[in-house]
A and B are shown apart, each in its own frame.
Chain A
Amino acid sequence: MSENNGMFGASGSGDTSGFGGLARSAANFGSSERPYGSYFDEITDELERAYPEFNSAIEKVVIDRGELTLHVKREKLFDTAMKLRDTQSLRFEVCLGVSGVHYPEDKTRELHAVYPLLSMTHNRRIRLEVSAPDSDPHIPSLVEVWAGNNWHERETWDMFGIIFDGHPGLTRILMPDDWPGHPQRKDYPLGGIPIEYKGATVPAPSERRSYR
């Protein structure tokens, strides 16, 4: 997604160390190849059987660090979630909330919502990941599937500005009701700390020189 050049973060300095030629790009996870290993093959097989639209709903299946992530198209999120919850052989009866992630460089897929799911019946875990563009930040709500997602979706709206369509009362939850902006987005402006020393100010954390 992103590419780092030079000494990874130090820019504009007279770099004489020879590291200037280095370039490193962050890993972009493509779909994993079968066999996935562990119980992941079984889960995808069962979901494919239970959900005829599997191929059009699931964008990619990623196995990384012993965890299965299903990237779902947002239009199909609700149906997929229902199948995952109600199919006897899957039974993901608990959703452990929503975690929003903002990737400003991932054009047309800037906002991601990540749902860790747990099946107590089978003692298995998977993760759903959905994305939406910044220009149209809508993702269907899953409160009807798992009532406990209510506050988590409110938090993700509050922090990232993702609008969960169908949520019974999508209001801010942690920030005050009249707060402008969504603080955990990467483009949210951070304030510097004004200090009294010859009119100088400390730059905002996001603008300080740093290693990346």
Chain B
Amino acid sequence: MTTHDSYASATDTTEGRVYSVTGGDWDSLVTEIGQTKEERVVVNMGPQHPSTHGVLRLVLELEGETITEARAGIGYLHTGIEKNTEYRTWTQGVTFVTRMDYLAPIFNETAYCLSLEKLLGITNDIPERASEIRVLMMELNRISSHMVALGTGALELGALSPMIFAFREREKVLDVFEMISGLRMNMAYVRPGGVAQDLPKGAIAKIRETVKELRHNFKDNEKLLVGNSIWMLRTKGIGYLDLAGCTTLGITGPVLRSAGMPWDLRKTEPYCGYENYEFDVITTNTCDVYGRFLIRMQELEQSLRIIEQACDKLEKSEGQPVMVADKKIAWPSQLSVGSDGMGNSLEHIREIMGTSMESLIHHFKLVTEGFRVPAGQAYAAVESPRGETGVHLVSDGGTRPYRVHFREPSFNNLQATSAMAEGGMIADVIGAVASIDPVMGGVDR
């Protein structure tokens, strides 16, 4: 290199000559590499790279600009959530699992709670209003997650404006989350037996207004990208993965639907009463990045439809319970949103501290000790924005989980990177990874 850089200079190793690139004059590097006889070049992308969706490391073996081998290195965000839950009560588990796939917290919570409710045998006792709120929250969350997928996906391929529009819409959804749960992400709002608290006054009206705005604004993003010739050149025919590839790799979600398979757990195995909502499963048969992009775009509208129907149902079920009736499982208090987030409602504190000793004992036992879950195992799955989020729970009959395992769609789907990228150009690996939409918090857990 012409200039010396103490952090990025060439060194000789047993594996060959290693060049570190941190910016600078690309031409001088190309000239220098061009002098070596070796045609095979291994490029190490990440673990910190602006276009890898978090701390993902890609090891790419190149011949010219063609990728001959692509491998993903993960684990940089491993936090041991599964192990941690084994030393907390079943209810506290919600607070942990919500932090796995941090763009889809409500889906993690719901999948965990559905699996736990199956273990408890109370699946049919969950109040309808609780399920309606869960559906409402999940679909709002699907929108906020898809907005990140579309925004950052476009950003990574060099289109800056869609990201600004997408994050503007995402903020609106997060505002709704804040109004309902007190928190914008990692809410721990869905609880075993129902949800933490009922919708606050005025929530439905705000959601209806937000839906109207979103529907109008989604058109901006659509105009920017759908049919845009540069965008289509970068995404059409890129990251190809057909149905056979998807099934053997266990791929679900938009990637599977882009191979023409109308597989959506909301339709095939309805949970939380999804059978009572009208919506379409979007598919394309292009098997490529463009197809996955179109699917996410159109799923936004389907989510809005479901949210509107959920609002109608919630208006009718006003005043009904949002937590299972069994007092030995239900969280003793309904919480309330204060200026610093979700906390105990003052009314409840007044009752346990001032009027009823029995309430206090009940509260204390359930909060510190928790409820016992009959021994056994269960698996429940929901359709998250990225595919099937499945939860395998094992109980030994105690107040703490014996084993919590998340089948994370990001973790599973990221395996397709090699199949999508190998044989293609190095520039296209970015689009392929973006179309999988991996969230590293979910991948590494």
Q: Which residues of A contact B (CB under 8 A)?
A: 1-2, 4, 8-9, 24, 26-27, 29, 64-67, 69, 93-97, 99-102, 114, 116, 120, 123, 125, 127, 146-152, 155, 159, 172-176, 183-184, 205-206, 208, 210-212
Contacts and interface: CB of A to CB of B under 8 A. Distances in A.
Interface string B361-376: 0000000111000111
Given A24-B397, A65-B119, A127-B379, 5 more contacts: A29-B376, A95-B250, A146-B248, A183-B80, A183-B83
B378 interface: yes
B396 A148 contact: no
A147 B249 contact: yes
B396 A26 contact: yes
Given A116-B392, A152-B412, A176-B75, A96 B378 contact: no
What is the interface of chain A mostly: helix, strand, loop, or mixed? loop
B74 interface: yes
A212 B403 contact: no
Contacts of A184: 82-83
Interface string B58-101: 00000000000000001100101011000100000000000000
A67 B390 CA distance: 14
Contact of A148 (B80, B82, B412, B445): B412
Given A114-B392, A212-B398, A206 B87 contact: yes
Given A65-B119, A120-B261, A206-B87, A96 B250 contact: yes
Contact of B399 (A127, A146, A212): A212
16 contacts: A4-B397, A4-B398, A27-B375, A64-B377, A69-B377, A96-B381, A99-B392, A99-B403, A116-B392, A123-B268, A147-B249, A150-B415, A151-B415, A173-B74, A174-B74, A211-B399
A2 B414 CA distance: 39
Contacts of A183: 80, 83
Contacts of A66: 118
Given A64-B376, A95-B250, A147-B248, A175 B415 contact: no
Contacts of B268: 123
Contacts of A100: 405
A4 B396 CA distance: 11
B257 to A, nearest CB: 12
A174 B444 contact: yes
B415 A116 contact: no
A159 B381 CA distance: 22
A96 B261 contact: no
A147 B370 CA distance: 40
B411 interface: yes
B296 interface: no
B279 interface: no
Contacts of B87: 205-206, 208, 210
B388 interface: yes
Contacts of B411: 151, 155
B247 interface: yes
A106 to B, nearest CB: 11
A148 B246 CA distance: 9
B390 A116 contact: yes
Contacts of A8: 398
Contacts of B74: 173-174
B394 interface: yes
B376 A94 contact: no
Interface string B311-339: 00000000000000000000000000000
A101 B397 contact: no
B305 interface: no
Contacts of A99: 392, 403, 405, 407
A101 B402 contact: yes
Contacts of A208: 87
B399 A174 contact: no
Contact of A146 (B82, B119, B250, B390): B250
A96 B390 contact: yes
Given A65-B121, A148-B248, A175 B75 contact: yes
Interface string B113-153: 00000110100000000000000000000000000000000
B247 A94 contact: yes
B251 interface: yes
Nearest to B379: A116
Contacts of B398: 4, 8-9, 211-212
Nearest to A24: B397
B213 interface: no
Given A94-B250, A116-B392, A67 B379 contact: yes
B170 interface: no
Interface in B281-295: none
B412 A65 contact: no
Contacts of B75: 172-176
B138 to A, nearest CB: 20
B253 to A, nearest CB: 12
B415 to A, nearest CB: 5
